[in-house]
Amino acid sequence: MTGSGTVGVRKARSAETEAALKEAAKRVFARTGYLKAKITDITAEADRAAGSFYSHFGSKEQLLEALLVDMLAESDERVEDPGHSPDFTDPEAVRWHVAAYWNFVSANKPVVVALSQAAMVDEHFARRLRQLLEPNLHDMAHHLEHIRASGGQLPGDPLVVASALISLISQFASTWLLGEGEAAALGRELSEGEAVDTLTRFILNGISGPAR
């Protein structure tokens, strides 16, 4: 095998190990929670040597950050979806974004919970998390600007309104998808359709309803 071929095989194996560690981490986080998860738990789950972890990640926090970066990259790819529109004067555009976020949380529950747990105990990680998510805030504000540009009126500064919307959607998803808050006490399930429709109508009334 040529030198370049050997390098290619090594890179492929390295990428395979990194992917295996990420997938193993998701399973371990789902089973034990992020705070109790150990690096040795992750490597054992991935069927890799314990030392292999540090060839890819400097810490458990770096692995979690890498998982978030992957998730955000997948989310960015959805922008190419034919149904996507940044124009929030269109109710269907609002609904598309609500559904996208709901599905994002639903598909990544262990990592979303892990991010919350890590941010609670590590201020450095919490700051890094805010940095990674900040573009989403500005993106939402840009979407809201379409309402002003068309002559509509927002209840406040677009960036502040965007912050309120993201907080609303995030907490609502946490309540119903992650079992936080009062959802368990209500004793009922919430379908994706009902969740998305309720949030969409609530948001549309909030950002474009009559001023009082």
CATH number of the domain within which 35 lies:
1.10.10.60
Residue predicted with more confidence, 76 or 159: 159
Does 107 share its domain with 42? no
Cα 86 to Cα 10, 15, 99: the distances in Å are: 42, 35, 14
Confirm if 182 and 196 have CB atoms less than 8 A apart: no
- On whether both 23 and 117 belong to a single domain, the answer is no
> Are 132 and 178 in a shared domain?
yes
Nearest to 45 by CA among 62, 61, 30, 64: 30
Tell me what pLDDT residue 2 has.
59
Structure tokens at 117: 């747990």
The range of the structural domain enclosing residue 202 comes to: 59-208
Same domain assignment for residues 155 and 130:
yes
Same domain, 11 and 65: no
Task: Tell me what the mean pLDDT of segment 149-157 comes to.
Answer: 91
Among 33, 58, 83, residue at a domain's last position: 58
User: What is the pTM for the complete model shown?
Assistant: 0.85
Q: Which of 10-19, 30-39, 102-111, 141-150 has the lowest mean pLDDT?
A: 10-19
Q: pLDDT class for 81, splitting at 50, 70, 90?
A: confident
Long-range contacts of 44-49 (CB under 8 A, 24+ apart): 46/17, 46/20, 46/21, 47/20, 48/17, 48/20, 48/21, 48/24
Number of domains in the chain: 2
Average pLDDT over every residue of 175-187:
71
44 and 130 in a single domain? The answer is no
Residue 65 near residue 126 (C-beta atoms within 8 A): no
